[in-house]
Structures are given as structure tokens and as C-alpha cells.
Structure 1
């Protein structure tokens, strides 16, 4: 590659050729899943395969009335796709809004272009406030500016101090220019840049860990394994019930046999559980969106409710990222030192720390610069001679880091000042020293400190902690969530911030002393809660170490240096100031940067978990009795006792409709692990009670009279609905006016199915003869008593387990 003309840069033709040759700055794609990936993930599932296969079979047979179960599956798919695609579009808009522009020199003229328009060998013109859009090497500094280049790499390294860049030094993509100007040649673009290498692995899509979804997926796997033998048993049983395979095929009864088989198989699938879970997550997502919390993935609502270890990046998360003036301690009496500080704070090229002096001292009399040595991050000091309207005072002022300003000064005053500054630094505050000398400053290429410096004042600064941080930390402490603050900054600074937000015993640990072994690191993390000088790789290792000890880990941050840890955490949370790459891998994005949104997310997650556990017992009860009835009736070669449309009645009234409302009601119950086990220990016995009731009806009915197929199917439907509605009543406790209303409405709905002629005909049910009706009442009454006994046993079992764990 030929050398670039530093006076003219690349020509337009050269830039276009390099772009065609693949040397452009296109960033790696994959901020989130594409639309095709979203569709594939939500459409091609085991659940949908089971349901739509049965749906298709019934449509082919012309039994569309029995194919109503396909609608919930369709709604579930649509909700999942729409919610995730909306999150993707929001993130894409965020990325566009936050995308920086690049300033390049081409054909001797300055051009402002999009970052992806930069090519290898371009000359970037860097000025204060710019974000570096590609890795580059400094060719010149002070291009029209007052001093050399200084960049902030905290988004990449977590280190908040500005770094001085000399000619020949590299500046990394993703860093920000905070002082000076430079001309820099692009040496790495796109996927080869530092920021892209750091985030390319983080950008790979992975699903958030969800106990609810994991448990449901596990159930579907179990069901899918059971489906093939069940289908064979049910189909064979139905064929035998209609006179055997040959007779059923010849008579055309095989169609009824297939319908019965589909009814049995579809009844096994907890059809609405996935739908209700998706709706609950989607409603929570919309509710949180109103509070400026973006949910990237539906089950992320659940995540924070399960978190017991929260890792917080300091800068931009716990703090605003801004420095705040703390205190000035006068050491030696010197007239006019406050005015000097006022001048430093209001100077046009004042850095972020110096600007903090503008408010307390900016009203001092106006001074004029007679001579100046600008601040340099390598020297760590600046010097100036100031004059007022009456003339110039003799001597010079020096301002900077105490150990650099007083280097070589052996006086007692100097030693005492350094000791005092060290004590302040130990408390985590940042310190600067103002000193005075009667000698003038020596301007030039290599300026030196004037002789005879006398320390005048020590100034301390602290990072501005978010107003909501202390209250939020107190909330997490009350909820039993263990908080750790980790940062790339000085451990003492991190420790001071931790104490300010209420974390006791916050002795900062220097991450450079941490072990590499994951088990040893986990031991340290169990003891310590504040860490400084942490690298991006160490942040990720910390997440893994906590997970290895069984913790559910949430990680918050805003820089590229946080992206890997945020991706691997059980729940990644990005602040509003986060880079687009970090937002892309986070599960939640706090769009307004308000840390006090976190308790609301916790409460929303707990509501979802508690309500889904409640309604899951309804669905799993159905799965249990559907499996048992299908197997028993298949093995006994009995006709399946329901039509699919009749199961739609019981599903809708005992599960689908009430579950929708129950899943969205307020619920402040705290999260307890073991969702699936608790659900199954209630649902399996409840399902067996209903199975026993249906079997009793089938065996006892011939002894009280002869009944038609429609009458027996109607009796079975009433028996199933009667007991299943009482299971609903039990799970709706403790009593609440709205829950009581839901249960009563479902009983009324069951009555209307029989009262209204159209619904009675559509669902193929009829009024029962007196003898059969009395038998149904007796069986249902016994079933209700058994369900109450089950509830008491299940409640007692949970209480014993909670006492044992506490």
C-alpha cells in the first residue's frame, strides 16, 4: 500500500477503489437477530410442529370445527415475532441515533462522512468531542489546536483518565477525543479494529436463561418423546373401538378414529401455557417500555426477579461519569489563589476536572494569561502567569497532581502536603494541588517546574453519583441481592463511590492481584464486593465465577469493555449512554439512564413468575389427565370420550380465559426456585383425580342406563369441566374480588354452552338424562373433596420445605 500524502489525504478515486476492494469500515453485523432468524426461531418449534400437524389433519378431514386449537398456537407465534422484531427495530434506531460521524482529509479538503465510509489509509481529522471511528496511528498533533492529543478510552478499557497520544501512537476505535487535535492514518477497519474484535463474540445472539421457558421446554421435550408411542396406542385403540382396522377403514369410521387420536394428542400439549407466558411477558414489556425500559427478549422480564448477584460497572452506571468538586484545603496563605482556580475552571480548553472549579470559583475577578504551559497528561501539571487589570503579580502558579507538582521539592511544607494529599486519595477522592513560586515559568518544547514551589491548596474531587443510586442499592440489599461494583478505575476511587451508595466494608481490591483460576476467583468474589483496575476479560471471568457458585448474575454497564460480561451474564442491562454494541447484547436497556427503574423491573419480574406458576398448574393438570385418559382408553380400545371441540370448551373455561386474567394480575410474591417441581407435585395428582373421575363415569354409566354417544360425551365434558373449574377455584386463592368474579364467570360460561341452542349444537353437547346427570353430580362432588385434600397437602409440603431451607 502506497504512503498517503499527509497534505492531501486519499483522493476520491483511491477511496472508492479501496471500498470496492473490501477495505471499508463496515462494522460486523449482528446487533440482534435478523427478521428471518426471528421468524425461524418462533415458527419452527416442536410445539408448533405438534399443533399445526393436528390442525392440518383435521382440516383435510373437513372437521374445521374441531381445529380451534390452532388459533392459540398462531397467536403465540405472532406475539413472539412482533415483540422481538419491535425490540430489534428500537435497537437499530438507537444505533443510528448514536452513530458518530467521521471527519477525513481527501483531495486536500475536509469531508464529514459516515463511519462505514472510512477506508484503510484515510486520514482522520480528530478534534475534541470526536469519537474515533477506526483504529488509526497519529501522524501529527496540534493541527490547529492549542495542545497535543488526549483521548478517553474508558469505553474500551474502563480507565477514566485521559491518555496522552504522541506522534506514532495508536488511537483505538470507540475512544473519544477530550483534548487537542491530530491527524491520524487509519490502520485497521471494520472487523479488524480493536472495538470490533472486543465485541464480535459478544454480538453473537444467545437466549436469556429463563427458568419458566426452560421448564416449559423441558415439558415439551418429555411430551414429544411420549407422543409417538401415545399416537400408536390411541390410534390403534380408536380403530379397535370401531371394529378393528379393516372394518374401520371399510366403513369410513377411521375418520372418527383419527379425530379422537388428534384430540388425545393435542390435549397433552400445554397449548395455552406458552401463549399465556408470551402474553404475560409481552404485557410486561409494554408496561416497562412506558417507563423507558427496553426489553430485548421476552423472558428477560423474568430474569431480574431471579437475580441474586448484581454486578455494576461504576462509571456511567452508579455514577454519571462526571467529576464534582469536593473540597479545597488551604495550606499556605497566598492572595488570589481562588481567582487562579476560577480562571482554570473557566478557561476555554479546561478539561472535565478543571471545569468543576467554574461553579465555586468562577465569579472571581477576571485574570489574563501572560505566560502558560498547557496541561499535559504525561507531565500531569500545567503552569501559568496571570495578570489582572492592575498588572501582573510576580511569580507563577502550578496546578496538577501533587506527587508531580512537588517532585524534587524537599521542604517540610511539601512533605506535609504530599502526606495530606495521600490521606485524601486513600479515601478514594481525586486530588490536585495548586502551588506558587516566585520564579517565572520556562516556556518551550520541554518546560520544567519553577524552583521554590510552595503548596497553597489541595483540592479534592469525587465522581458524581447518580441521585437514585443509594436508594436503589438499599432496595437490592433488602431483597437479598448481593451487589458488586467493578470498574477499570483506581480501586480507591471505586471504594469511595461504593461507600457513598451504601455498600459497607467497601475495601477496593486491585484486579491485577486476582487469580486466573475460576474457583479461586469465585472464592475472592464471595468475600469481596468492590474491584478496581478490572479488564474486560476479567469482568467476564467474574460473571462466570459467580455463576459457577450457583448465582444468577446480572451485569450492568455502558462501555464496550462491559459488552462481553453483559452478554454472558444471566441478565445483561445497558444504560442509555451505552455504546450500540453494548445495547445490542443487553437484555434490558434503561433508555433514560435512570437507575431507579431497576426495582420496578424486579417487581414486574416477580409478578410474572408468581402468576405464571399459578396458571401453569392449570395447564399441567390438563396435560396429566389428557395423557392418562389417552393411554387408558387406547389400551382398553374404548372410543375417546371427547371431541376436540368439546375439549376446547373445557380448555377455554377452565384454563385459557381465566389464565389470561390471572397471569396479568398484581402479585408481589418473592421468587422461589423450583418452579417445575412445585407445579408438577400439584398438577399430577390433580390430573389423576380428573382421570379417575372420567374412568368412573365410563365404567359406572352402563349400570344406570343406556346412553347415546353424544350423551356420554356431554357427561364426560361436564365431569371434566366441573372438577377442573374447582381446580381453578383452588389455585385462585387467597380470595380476591376479581379472582372470585373470574371463577363465577367461568361457571356461568359453562352453563351458557348448554342453554344457548347454537353453542349446544356447535359443540355437539346435549342435556343429560336424570340418572346420568345424578351420576355426574356425585362424581364431581367426590372430585371436589379430593382436590381440597390435595390443596391442603401441597400447601403443607411447601411450608415444610421453606422452613427447612430457612
Structure 2
């Protein structure tokens, strides 16, 4: 292609824009396709768990025992807390998304300016340059070597040349050249609007944590049906007590089987994570990215813009011949309509072009590593990578290599024997000068790399720059390892993966190679994060497990990344990793508490139910379920509810591992069995039979509750490990709260408790202590079997 025509297509007038807005022909796609407030309210109120608790609440109300319906407050708590946290996260995400969104350059009669995508109207003229995202569908009206990547829409990896009259689709982006297009489809009519809507929803899908919890909940549902039916039958038909007492016993058995707070705590942990990261100017486009980055064991980092700052300055000019290279550089910089950081540095150093007229322009492409301009009688000129434009063994290429070894960026300026738009360009290149540019290393880059090293996360530096230069920068940051020129990388995935694992830094990497390197690492079972800011990083960002873009990067990179660092600080990544580890580690702890409760509740219901069936066969005293709903409600307050909330938000830097379901169930199942067996034993020892008075039945229920609380508090004590002062205080205050409840006369009356029988109460405490010892022993035995080096106190 030759240089495109001068800008001739005028934009809309202000009146035409206002008319189109009035007609609804604006790009009214929301910044994020988050759930509306009404959808958030419905999603948090109308849940399966709330429905179960709601039905049980109405059953209890029918008995007239209002205090036993206290568990109904869980419906309000579940819904209210979930709504508040999700609305907070929604506001944070929406605010950050406005900052981080692509801002197209729109040409109008009143002037050309950057606007938000929602301000674009039908027939607007939108200018394009390298890295720009196409925000609405349109038709090209001007172009200069314009090439568009549509891989995110069509899967076609090769850039597509666009001529005037060709269609462009929203969601694609410019990789080379410049131009302008007229908007022909805006709003929800645009091709990528629905894709973008699905991609940016506030959701917890594709999360091992979420899918694991759903798997556990399905298993619990299968347990609830037989256990619930058995409980309903035995309490209503075998106990020969009044229907009100039987119904309360039935509800008391069923309520604790429901892990009512587990999903809520997960949602809260994710939502709070979004808000916390938002305060650090980190936009999380997809919530599971918080979890995913915590599982990352390889970070592929681009050098430019990630380890080094975007800005560059001219450090020196090494002339090879006597040509007026300053005039050449000034002209080439002036004729680049969308200069990159290198050309901007040259333009600042040589601001006075001689006024030559360009006859052909070849824009810079990541795949070719050079750009050029033909000036007719003033010659054909190229600027680019010395090791690409010259033979690697030539003296000038070796000189460039020596300069690059100091961590500097080196570009070759040369004259060519072919016009730059010739298909065979650049042809034979005659070196004229070496342009030496200096990049500043980010001051926080070394600390960030040191953090990843301490966390056993490998860092691979992947750059399009000269391999020696990349290795020098990495070495200055303390990153040790072999450096390799990507042009020597093997083609097969297996060999490529082996090479990547044995090397640390890579130079002269093409965009398609970055993508292949991500795939190769994934084939070895690695969870890969890719950071970048340029168009050449888009394909790798898209295919990495977690894509992290810089806020100052191209709109295309920000569009495909799950996480956008709006403050452009690589040092924010450790905080994102830490937030993910906090979420995963704490939800695992909290899950242990909730599922232990479900296990012991199901076991207790089954044991009481079986005893009820046996009483019919052997004509013995039937067992009334020991607890009324208020008992299981207060039991959950300080053994699960409040501690779980605190633990879910606590700091946690333990590295995340796969196998969430297996680990949680292996801890909760034995603990729940011990708690259930101990509680049932205590109840049997205290139970006075069919002839028991109401006071004796209350004392037996109180004894069972005491044993339950002692063992459940010890489960909390185990889950809270390794200890810090506040964790010890949390366990101690939880136990103290129950001592207070059992000691106050009006609380005893309100909660239907009677610990006045010293013998029965002492027996209950003794059984509880034995159960706690069993839980403690199980914890140490499990650690030995799993090879987990368990400890009581956190290491300093």
C-alpha cells in the first residue's frame, strides 16, 4: 500500500450529533454489563437456601413459638449482607471501568477529541492508530497501511489489511497503520456488544472455589432428603408428644443441615476483594481472576511498560556514515502519525524536520520489527532492530549487540535500495547510524520480582527487544537465568515447553510466539499469568490463565485482560496475588466450619431417627430430637457465624492449591462425625425416657447442647490455626459468650436452657472434653498422613 490520501472526510456537526442522540442512535452499551440493582436484590433474596429456611420459618410460626423462629433472621442477614457487598463491588467496578475503558478519537466539525464509547453516535468519523480498539462497527473511509486484527472475533490470527470501503467490526483492534472509519452500527446492534456483555458480567463462574462449593452443596442436598424424611417421620409419628413440640424438634433437626452462610461468605470474600483491589486502582474485569492469580505459578512479563517505564529518552547517536542522519530522523519522526515510545523520544531530540515530502510509508509492525519512509530524491529510509535489518555477524550488528548488553535499546537507521512499500522491502539495508535509547527501570520492579521468588512463582521475561538487552535489564533486577533469542526457539510444543522452563529471558519474541509460549507452559500443567501493555501482547493475554494489562496500555490489551492495573504499577501484582490467597485460604477455613455443622447435624438426625425406628420394633422409649430451633440458632452464633465472618476477611498468604473439595471434606467429615457422636452420647446419658418431665427433657437438651458447643468450639480452635493473638482471642471470646449465655437467668429462660442439674452438666462437659480431644488427635493424625507440617503458632 502507498501512503493514504489526506484527511478529507468531515465529521458530524453538533446539531447532527444532538439529532442522533434524540433519535436513540447513540452507542448506549453500558460501561460494564453488570447486574442491575434490581437483579442483585432478586439474586440475593430468591435463593434455594432462603426458600428452605423460609418454609421452615413459617412452620415454626404456626406453632406460636416466636423465639424458635429466630433462625429466620438468617434470611434477612443472608440477603442484606449479600446485597450490600455486591452493590459496593458493583460501584467500585463501574467507577474503575470508566477510567480504564477505551476512549476513541472522534472527528467532528467542532474539533477532534477523545470521547467515551457511549458518546459515539451513528455516522461519527472515528480515527484509528496502532493499538486502538474499534468500539463500534463501521466502514473504513481513510487508510494508510491500515491492518486490523480480528482474532478476538473470528479466531483468524493474521492481521487483515483494510482498504477504504471495507467493513471493520467492534472488538477488533489496529496492529499497524492508521485511518478513519464511519460508525454504521452502534449500541447493542454492534457485532461485539453481546460478546462484551457476556465477558464482563459480575459473576463467579469458571471458579474452582465456586464450582467446588456447588459440588458440595449438591452432595448435601442428597443427604438432606433421606435424613429429613427420617426426621419428619420419627418426630411426628413415634414420639407420642404434642404436634407443636414434634414440629419444633423436626425443624431443629433440619435447620442446621443447611450450610446457610457458605455461599454468602464466598460472595462476600470475592466482593470485598474487588473493593480492596479497587482502592489500589486495580480493575478486576472478572471476579474469578482474583482466585486464578492466587494459583499462578508462572508469570510471563513483558519488559517494556512492565519492568521498565513506558517513556524513553535519546541517550546517544552512533554515526556509521557521514549522511545527515539528524534530518532523516527528524523527518521520519514527523511523518509518523501514531509514534511509539521510541519515535517519540527521537521526535523530542530532533524537533525540526527539513520539510521533505513522503512518497511511501511503512508503519512499524511487531512481526517485522521495522518501519520506514520513502522521500523520493532524498532516499528510502528504515529504522528498526539492527539484528533484524543486518546480518548478525556484521560489525555494526556486533556494535549494536555490545551497546544492548548494557541494557540500552538500540535502533538502526539505514538507507535501502527499495521503496518501503515495495513487497520485497526493506531490500538491501546500508547502515547509517545507531540510535541509542534509554529506558528507566521501574523502581518497584526488583521488590516485585523478589516477592515472586519467595513465593515460588517463576518469572519469564518475554520481549520483542534485543535478547541481550532484555537479559541485561533482567539481570539488573536480580533475575537470574539463561537468556535466549526467540528466533532460535523450537517449533514443537514439547520442546518449546522444555526450553522455556530452562530459560528466564527471551528477546525478539513475535506476538504469535508469545501466545505459543503461554500454550507450551500450560501444557506442562502451569497456571500462567501474562502481563503486557502493547498490541503485540494481546493474543498472549487472551490465552493466558490470567491476563494483566497496564492502564496506560493499548485499549485492545485492556479489553482482553481480566485484570487492569490502572496505576501502571507492576508492584500492584503482589497485592492481587495476596488478595486471591486471602479469598481462597479463608473460604477453605470457613467451609470447614459450615460443613462440619452439616455433617454433625445429619449424623445426629440419622441417629435419633434410627433410635426412633428401633423404638417401634423393640417397644422402647422413642427419642425426641434434643434441640429446638432456638438451640441450633444460638449454637451457630459463636461457633460458626461471627467467627466465620471474621476469618473470611482476615489476612492469609498461604499459597493456593487445587483439590479444594477433597481437602475440605477430609477435614469436615471426621470432625463432624466426632461432634455428632459426642452430642448423641451426651443426650443418651442425660435422657430420662418417656416419663421424663418437661424440666428433665430441657436439662437433657441442655446437656447435649453443652457437649455440642464444647466440641464445636474446638473445631473452631483447630480451623483458626496457626494462631496469632487475635485468633486466640476470637476462640476465647466465642467460648466466653456461651458461658455468659448459660449463666444469665433471663437468657436461660429465653433460650429454653437449664444447666442447674450439676451432675448432668458435668457429664456433658466431660463428654465434650473427650470429643474435643478426639478432634485434636484427628487434626494431628491428618497432618501426618497428608505430609502437612502442621503447627500451632504462625512463624514470624
The interval holding the TM-score normalised by the smaller chain is: 0.7 to 0.9
- The yes-or-no answer on 1:48 pairing with 2:50 is yes
Structure-2 change in CA distance of 1:644 and 1:656 (3 Å): same
Residue 598 (structure 1) shift? 1.0
Q: Is the 8 A contact 1:574 1:590 kept in 2?
A: yes
Structure-2 change in CA distance of 1:523 and 1:258 (3 Å): farther
Correspondence 1:110-189 to 2 at 5 A? 134=136, 139=141, 149=144, 184-185=181-182
Residue 627 (structure 1) shift? 0.8
User: How many angstroms apart in 1 are the aligned matches of 2:686 and 2:129?
Assistant: 89
Report what 2:103 is aligned to: 100
User: How many angstroms apart in 1 are the aligned matches of 2:496 and 2:199?
Assistant: 22
Correspondence 1:686-705 to 2 at 5 A? 686-701=671-686
User: How many angstroms apart in 1 are the aligned matches of 2:118 and 2:280?
Assistant: 33
Task: Tell me the secondary structure at the aligned position of residue 708 of structure 1.
Answer: helix
- The yes-or-no answer on 1:207 pairing with 2:192 is no
Report what 1:717 is aligned to: 705
- The yes-or-no answer on 1:763 pairing with 2:751 is yes
Correspondence 1:369-384 to 2 at 5 A? 369=354, 373=358, 376-377=361-362, 380-381=371-372
- The yes-or-no answer on 1:779 pairing with 2:755 is no
Report what 1:63 is aligned to: 65
Report what 2:226 is aligned to: 229
Structure-2 change in CA distance of 1:298 and 1:418 (3 Å): closer
User: How many angstroms apart in 2 are the aligned matches of 1:758 and 1:32?
Assistant: 48
Report what 1:242 is aligned to: 239
5+ residue gaps in structure 1?
142-148, 386-394, 438-442
Report what 2:346 is aligned to: 357
1:230-256: per-residue Cα shift (whole Å, max 9, x none)? Answer: 11100001013432xxxx6xxxx2332
Structure-2 change in CA distance of 1:274 and 1:380 (3 Å): closer
Residue 623 (structure 1) shift? 1.6
Q: Is the 8 A contact 2:529 2:547 kept in 1?
A: yes
Report what 1:146 is aligned to: none
Task: State which drifts further: 625-634 or 34-43.
Answer: 34-43
Task: Tell me the secondary structure at the aligned position of residue 564 of structure 2.
Answer: strand
Q: Choose from 646, 653, 665 the match for 2:631.
A: 646
**Residues paired across the two proteins, number:** 746
User: How many angstroms apart in 2 are the aligned matches of 1:193 and 1:48?
Assistant: 39
Q: Is the 8 A contact 2:327 2:354 kept in 1?
A: no
Q: Choose from 475, 486, 490 the match for 2:451.
A: 475
Task: State which drifts further: 498-507 or 602-611.
Answer: 498-507
Report what 2:216 is aligned to: 219
Residue 645 (structure 1) shift? 0.8
Task: Tell me the secondary structure at the aligned position of residue 593 of structure 1.
Answer: coil
Q: Choose from 364, 382, 395 the match for 1:400.
A: 382
Task: State which drifts further: 688-697 or 164-173.
Answer: 164-173
1:661-719: per-residue Cα shift (whole Å, max 9, x none)? Answer: 33444444333443433333333222222222222223323589966221111111112
Residue 629 (structure 1) shift? 0.4
User: How many angstroms apart in 1 are the aligned matches of 2:528 and 2:281?
Assistant: 22
Report what 2:573 is aligned to: 598
User: How many angstroms apart in 2 are the aligned matches of 1:51 and 1:756?
Assistant: 29
Structure-2 change in CA distance of 1:184 and 1:83 (3 Å): same
Q: Is the 8 A contact 2:707 2:767 kept in 1?
A: yes
Q: Is the 8 A contact 1:719 1:780 kept in 2?
A: yes
Task: Tell me the secondary structure at the aligned position of residue 317 of structure 2.
Answer: strand
User: How many angstroms apart in 2 are the aligned matches of 1:154 and 1:478?
Assistant: 38
User: How many angstroms apart in 2 are the aligned matches of 1:743 and 1:458?
Assistant: 68
Correspondence 1:250-289 to 2 at 5 A? 253-289=242-278
User: How many angstroms apart in 2 are the aligned matches of 1:7 and 1:605?
Assistant: 49
Residue 646 (structure 1) shift? 1.1
Task: Tell me the secondary structure at the aligned position of residue 411 of structure 2.
Answer: strand
Structure-2 change in CA distance of 1:58 and 1:348 (3 Å): same
Residue 13 (structure 1) shift? 11
User: How many angstroms apart in 1 are the aligned matches of 2:371 and 2:543?
Assistant: 38
Structure-2 change in CA distance of 1:428 and 1:521 (3 Å): farther
Residue 56 (structure 1) shift? 3.5
User: How many angstroms apart in 2 are the aligned matches of 1:454 and 1:554?
Assistant: 41
Residue 769 (structure 1) shift? 1.6
Residue 428 (structure 1) shift? 9.9
1:360-411: per-residue Cα shift (whole Å, max 9, x none)? Answer: x56xxx97837565883269545899xxxxxxxxx9798632799x99x9xx
Structure-2 change in CA distance of 1:202 and 1:499 (3 Å): farther
Residue 550 (structure 1) shift? 3.7
Report what 1:144 is aligned to: none
Correspondence 1:554-573 to 2 at 5 A? 554-557=529-532, 570-573=545-548
Task: State which drifts further: 656-665 or 428-437.
Answer: 428-437
Q: TM-score, normalised on structure 1?
A: 0.75
Q: Choose from 467, 476, 482 the match for 1:505.
A: 482
5+ residue gaps in structure 2?
1-6, 364-369, 613-622, 791-796
Residue 793 (structure 1) shift? 1.4
Structure-2 change in CA distance of 1:675 and 1:513 (3 Å): closer
Report what 2:667 is aligned to: 682
1:281-328: per-residue Cα shift (whole Å, max 9, x none)? Answer: 444444333322344566544332222233446665455555554553
User: How many angstroms apart in 1 are the aligned matches of 2:307 and 2:713?
Assistant: 50
User: How many angstroms apart in 1 are the aligned matches of 2:745 and 2:118?
Assistant: 67
1:464-505: per-residue Cα shift (whole Å, max 9, x none)? Answer: 664434442343243222445567899999888777763733
Residue 92 (structure 1) shift? 3.6
Report what 1:390 is aligned to: none
Report what 1:551 is aligned to: 526
